[in-house]
Structure formats: structure tokens, C-alpha cells
């Protein structure tokens, strides 16, 4: 029995919509770059135009979007999406400076049971570390993203019309330079993309954590959150 190409791709589209993991997330960074380049080229092909014309999948920002095109969007979600779309790629937020002192580092070590001397022994760090002081755990910096981006203030929510905001995960994280004990850090945020999903929106943000007085950032992360309306 012959299967029409359109029906076959539609069935594949439905499978993808029930499995939210993006294929590119399974790839190593080097292979992922080739995958994104391939998709960008495919997006301009006649086949890609035909696929999108038949409401099969959409290709956006180097990704195959697994959600079917034509999702019914909540009116409040539409407003938020329009606002975000108008500022894509622009810096939308610069946070306040936050001190990362030894007490904060020690408390994080106690919670995570990570007491490596490079984090918790100032005397040994001064004598043996190339940084001549203790440094914060990379995951401590990562855990501070919510407060650094002002995302946890109940009195001033970033998206007040959303019923619920969910941290959906991270596409990529790098720690280019260590955070030395006693320095101040802050976050700068850009929105890379916004995509309709069932009952809401998926937003991908690029968050850069800078260190006061340092040229290199402490952390660069691609954060994914979902808003439900």
C-alpha cells in the first residue's frame, strides 16, 4: 500500500510534537553547527517552501520547530509575542550588581557537598591557585541566573499576564572566566526567539553574566522558558 508523502510527513510531525526534545540538543557542539547550517540552507530550498505551505513543520532560527503550524494562541500570549518579536536580538535587561562573597560560596558548597579547596580554602587558594584566591562554583553562577535577571520578584513579574512561567532548561552553557570570591556580577539578557506552543509561548534567551572590572564574562547561557496563559 502506497503512502502519500504529505501524509507520511504529517505523521512524523505529530510524533515530533509529542517528543519535545530537539534533535540538535542530542548533538555535540561541533556537529550541531553543521546541522544548523544545513537547516538554514534547507530553509531556502523549494522543498522547504513546499513543506511549510502544507503546514507540516516550520524552520526558524536554524531549528525544525516540532509544534504544528496553526496553533491557536491565547490573546494575551499574542500580545506578549508581538512585544517580544519587536525586540528580538536587542538587549532587553541589565541587572543590578550582586556580590559573590566567600559566605555565599561556602553556603553553596554545603548545599551541593562540593567542598573543593579551590572554592572553600582561601589560604590554600592564595598559595596554590593560579587565581590567588578562591573562586565560585560554576553551578553557583548558573543558579543565580534567576535573581540576576530579576525573574523571581513576585511583586514585579516579567510577564504578568502569564498564569505560569516554567524554566524549561538550557540549550548551552559556558563558563569563560571564573568568579573570584568578593567580586560583583550582573546579567545582561537578549531574547533570541519566541515560538507558540500549546497553551503558551516558548522563549529562548541569551544571558551573559559579566564580572565587574573584567573583560571576559563569567557565564554565557542559552536559557529556555515557557509561558502558559
Let me know if 207 is exposed, middle or buried by CB neighbors in 10 A (0-12, 13-18, 19+): buried
Question: Phi-psi category of 145—alpha, beta or left, where left has phi over 0 and alpha has psi -120 to 50?
Answer: alpha
pTM of the model: 0.67
What gap in Å lies between CA 210 and CA 149, rounded to an integer? 12
pLDDT in tens, 153-209: 888 888 999 999 999 999 999 999 999 999 999 999 999 999 999 999 999 999 999
**Domains by residue range for the chain, with CATH:** 72-228 (3.10.129.10)
The b-or-e profile of 66-101 (16+ CB within 10 A means b, else e) is: bbbeeeebbebbeebbeebeeeeeeebbebeebebe
Tens-digit pLDDT profile for residues 12-48:
555 444 444 455 555 566 676 666 666 666 555 554 5
Amino acid at each position: 500500500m502506497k503512502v502519500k508523502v504529505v501524509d507520511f510527513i504529517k505523521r512524523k510531525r505529530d510524533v515530533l510534537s509529542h517528543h519535545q526534545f530537539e534533535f540538535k540538543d542530542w548533538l555535540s557542539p561541533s556537529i550541531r553547527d553543521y546541522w544548523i547550517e544545513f537547516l538554514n540552507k534547507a530553509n531556502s530550498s523549494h522543498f522547504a517552501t513546499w513543506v511549510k505551505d502544507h503546514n507540516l513543520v516550520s524552520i526558524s532560527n536554524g531549528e525544525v520547530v516540532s509544534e504544528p503550524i496553526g496553533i491557536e494562541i491565547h490573546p494575551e500570549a499574542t500580545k506578549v509575542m508581538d512585544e517580544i518579536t519587536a525586540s528580538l536580538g536587542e538587549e532587553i535587561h541589565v541587572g543590578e550588581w550582586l556580590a559573590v562573597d566567600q559566605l555565599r560560596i561556602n553556603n553553596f558548597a554545603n548545599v551541593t557537598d562540593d567542598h573543593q579547596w579551590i572554592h572553600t580554602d582561601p589560604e590554600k587558594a592564595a598559595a596554590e591557585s593560579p587565581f590567588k584566591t578562591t573562586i565560585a562554583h560554576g553551578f553557583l553562577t548558573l543558579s543565580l541566573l534567576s535573581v540576576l535577571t530579576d525573574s523571581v520578584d513576585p511583586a514585579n513579574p516579567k510577564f504578568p499576564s502569564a498564569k505560569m512561567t516554567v524554566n524549561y532548561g538550557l540549550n548551552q552553557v559556558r563558563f569563560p572566566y571564573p568568579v573570584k570570591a568578593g567580586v560583583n556580577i550582573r546579567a545582561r539578557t537578549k531574547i533570541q526567539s519566541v515560538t507558540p506552543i500549546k497553551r503558551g509561548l516558548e522563549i529562548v534567551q541569551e544571558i551573559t553574566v559579566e564580572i565587574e572590572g573584567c573583560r571576559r564574562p563569567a557565564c554565557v547561557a542559552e536559557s529556555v522558558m515557557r509561558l502558559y496563559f
